[in-house]
Structure 1
Amino acid sequence: MTKVGETVLEIDLRALEHNYRYLRSKIYRDTKFLGVVKAFAYGSDSVAIAKKLETLGADYLAVAYTAEGVALRKAGISLPIIVFHPQQLSFSSIIEHCLEPCLYSKTIFTTFSKMAKDLGQKNYPVHIKFNTGLNRLGLGENDIDFILQSLNEMPQLKVSSLFSHLAASEDASERDFTMAQIGKFEKISTAILKELNYAPMRHMLNTSGIINYPEAQYNMVRSGIGLYGYGNEPAEDKKLIPVATLKTVISQIHTIGANESVGYNRAYKAKNPKVTATLPLGHADGIGRQYGNGIGHVWIQGKMAPLIGNVCMDMIMIDITGIDCKEGDEVIVFGKELSAEQLASSANTITYELLTGISQRVKRIYLE
């Protein structure tokens, strides 16, 4: 681990490799692996992560929006890239940069097909998404005839995969619902495969699906949060390594007396003399105002120090009373020593929100 004198997000590509190989060990040798690198690779660095996944042998990548895929292509990434949530205005850019759109509605299906035809495409790879219960995006069972008729009339398109998305694969109490989703996808996808003269891939499992429902891995699985070191349950978290570590330093130390306050609006008032430290990061860096005032801790010199006062735009304050530390000492906000899951749950939010919220002004450094 490197020593730094500023706020940085340390990205450990060795941890990424560990997580990738662990998740790969959960699936069959011939099952393809898709790495999800949307939202700056869950708040880290999509280009660095994508390059590493390409080196490791991932088969596919996925982003949410077209601009994310374009950025990867401009960085030299050659793996197939699915765009999960394309918009009509981006269709020409998708084709220009050899990205593969998810077709999730009749409107998207027909308008992308027209664009592909107008641009002289033939057998352009697309992925058809089905809504099996998440009720977010996707075509339904009653759209099968529309899909088959459209494909028959559209030589400009070729289906690379049929897929769906599980709603609660990490929740054992929702197993019946998840099994119903799997059953519904099986029925829909089988009906389509019977009518095609080729066999697109099928995929449905996310990280928790890989762990809890390996029997439904079909031809490919998709992993996002697992690659970054979180398995959505404590037992799996122990087998994974966090990729991102948010580190900062102590800018200044204060000794305050009883009844003195800290920060805006005097939100924290000391009942007894305290020693406090100010750190150079705040809600502009992704540590929101839901933290502070006793919610959330950081790790310093092997001890936990609570956040006190309101989180500022560029600074947070911590209580270091009884901790032997000095100005310039390193502080871990989250990472291997203090899980992002712990910090997020203390504020009644989730790891995904904390990780993806880290500002792009925070410097990224890399461990290979």
Structure 2
Amino acid sequence: MPKAQETVLEIDLKALHHNFKYLKSKLQPNTKFLAVVKAFAYGSDAYEVANYLQKLGVDYFAVAYINEGVELRKSGITKPILVLHPLAVNFKKLIEFALEPSLYNAKILNEFISIASAEKQINYPVHIKFNTGLNRLGFWENDVDYVVSKVKATKTINVKSLFSHLAASEDLNERDFTLKQINNFKIIAEHFKTKIGYMPILHMSNTSGVLNYPEAHFDMIRSGIGLYGFGNSEKESTYLKPISSLKTVISQIHKIEKGESVGYNRAYKSDGSFTKTATLPLGHADGIGRHYGNGKGFVTIHGQKAPIIGNVCMDMIMVDVTNIDCKEGDEVIVFGEHSTAENLAETANTLSYELITSISQRVKRVFLKEDT
């Protein structure tokens, strides 16, 4: 593939296909696959990723907020889209674009029934979320009777699915807690079925749930980070391929003499030894936060690590290339297949999730198709 000539985020759709097939291989043939494409498809490109997965046969999509779903509909995505954290102010827009809300407490349930009724909806598909231990959003187990009574009292909505969210499925030290969550969800689902007279689609597993808890696959799974190449464990990550590579170029090389400093606030000062730095055209406005500066983070140039020195600027970073044979215009790998986003994130004590979802949309996206 051609070398980068500017700051670009390469999205490898072949790697996305690989990850989808690997995760699908963990499921029973009839288990549905919901692809999570919130946060601009984890910082890549929501439409391109969703469009590609739609062609591969994914069953469902999920986004966090209504406007994310609206943008997918405007871009031609036709598969069902679950909105995980809808707010009532946008419910009319949700209905206009045939999005499906997660309803997670009495207030949001009643508000949606009211607005959907005013919009003359019949059997509008909704998803009821139950809290089994994450303690973020969701009805409680003892709310089943209330939810069923509200659903039965109207023809406006139809419960398409019941779901919950595992809190620590990647941490096998929390296995007992996770199994308790799974068992609680089963109890909730059976109670709901008995009261309402039918069983909606059940889903609970995130990527780590797919990999570690087959008993929690139920009727559908939800995968986000796994599709983008990370398995939340060193072992599982070896079977997945990061789909994104952030690349840039060397804009200028400086020779730093004794007593000189580099960057804002003179955060790096020469200790007297000769230092050679390279300035790169990306910074915290592009998603490389200040916490990667001052020797914590690094980039790769000609296969060698170049530590970030000084403070990260809004549009630039400086790296130490004293021992690297390089020149202005040479390609730089910020993260990719070999030196991954996970590797870089670890240097700042954060997660690959935070790094990849932070990549600014001003960074040019380049798509590597299947035949590339």
Q: With structure 2 as the length reference, what TM-score do the two structures score?
A: 0.98
Aligned twin of 2:179 = 179
Give the 5 Å matches for 1:202-213. 202-213=202-213
* SS of residue matched to 1:143: helix
Aligned twin of 2:45 = 45
Give the conservation status (yes or no) of the 8 Å contact 2:246–2:335: yes
Query: Is 2:107 the counterpart of 1:107?
Result: yes
Superposed CA RMSD? 0.8
Once residues 61 and 224 of structure 1 are traced to their aligned partners in structure 2, the CA distance between those partners, rounded to angstroms, is 10
Aligned twin of 1:323 = 324
Aligned twin of 2:366 = 365
Give the conservation status (yes or no) of the 8 Å contact 1:299–1:331: yes
Aligned twin of 1:80 = 80
* SS of residue matched to 1:194: helix
Give the conservation status (yes or no) of the 8 Å contact 1:69–1:81: yes
Amino acid of the structure 2 residue aligned with 1:353: E
Once residues 138 and 195 of structure 2 are traced to their aligned partners in structure 1, the CA distance between those partners, rounded to angstroms, is 20
Once residues 282 and 306 of structure 1 are traced to their aligned partners in structure 2, the CA distance between those partners, rounded to angstroms, is 14
Query: Is 2:225 the counterpart of 1:222?
Result: no
Aligned twin of 1:290 = 291
**CA apart distance, 1:199:** 2.5
Aligned twin of 1:251 = 251
Give the 5 Å matches for 1:1-368. 1-271=1-271, 272-368=273-369
* SS of residue matched to 1:136: coil
Amino acid of the structure 2 residue aligned with 1:311: V
Amino acid of the structure 2 residue aligned with 1:212: N
**CA apart distance, 1:72:** 0.2
Query: Aligned pairs, how many?
Result: 368
Give the conservation status (yes or no) of the 8 Å contact 2:189–2:199: no
**CA apart distance, 1:4:** 2.1
Q: Where do 4+ consecutive residues of structure 1 move more than 4 Å? A: none
Once residues 194 and 85 of structure 2 are traced to their aligned partners in structure 1, the CA distance between those partners, rounded to angstroms, is 27
Give the conservation status (yes or no) of the 8 Å contact 2:7–2:249: yes
Once residues 262 and 94 of structure 1 are traced to their aligned partners in structure 2, the CA distance between those partners, rounded to angstroms, is 50
Once residues 2 and 50 of structure 1 are traced to their aligned partners in structure 2, the CA distance between those partners, rounded to angstroms, is 26
Q: Deviations over 1:195-252 (max 9, x none)?
A: 2333210000000000000111000000000000000111111111111111100000
**CA apart distance, 1:259:** 2.8
Report the identity percentage: 61
**CA apart distance, 1:157:** 0.6
* SS of residue matched to 1:246: strand
**CA apart distance, 1:49:** 0.5
Q: Deviations over 1:123-167 (max 9, x none)?
A: 110000000000000001111111111111111111110000000
Amino acid of the structure 2 residue aligned with 1:106: A
Once residues 55 and 194 of structure 2 are traced to their aligned partners in structure 1, the CA distance between those partners, rounded to angstroms, is 36
Once residues 85 and 338 of structure 2 are traced to their aligned partners in structure 1, the CA distance between those partners, rounded to angstroms, is 35
Amino acid of the structure 1 residue aligned with 2:327: K
Give the conservation status (yes or no) of the 8 Å contact 1:229–1:241: yes
Amino acid of the structure 1 residue aligned with 2:171: D
* SS of residue matched to 2:34: strand
Give the conservation status (yes or no) of the 8 Å contact 2:165–2:205: yes
Amino acid of the structure 2 residue aligned with 1:312: C
* SS of residue matched to 2:115: helix
Q: With structure 1 as the length reference, what TM-score do the two structures score?
A: 0.99
Q: Deviations over 1:95-116 (max 9, x none)?
A: 1000000000101101101111
Q: Where do 5+ consecutive residues of structure 2 fail to align?
A: none
**CA apart distance, 1:15:** 0.7
Q: Deviations over 1:286-321 (max 9, x none)?
A: 101001111011011011111001000100000011
Once residues 4 and 248 of structure 2 are traced to their aligned partners in structure 1, the CA distance between those partners, rounded to angstroms, is 8
Once residues 312 and 88 of structure 1 are traced to their aligned partners in structure 2, the CA distance between those partners, rounded to angstroms, is 39
**CA apart distance, 1:322:** 1.6
Once residues 77 and 87 of structure 1 are traced to their aligned partners in structure 2, the CA distance between those partners, rounded to angstroms, is 22
Give the conservation status (yes or no) of the 8 Å contact 1:299–1:337: no
* SS of residue matched to 1:290: helix
Give the conservation status (yes or no) of the 8 Å contact 1:64–1:83: yes
Once residues 70 and 120 of structure 2 are traced to their aligned partners in structure 1, the CA distance between those partners, rounded to angstroms, is 21
Once residues 61 and 203 of structure 2 are traced to their aligned partners in structure 1, the CA distance between those partners, rounded to angstroms, is 13
* SS of residue matched to 1:134: coil
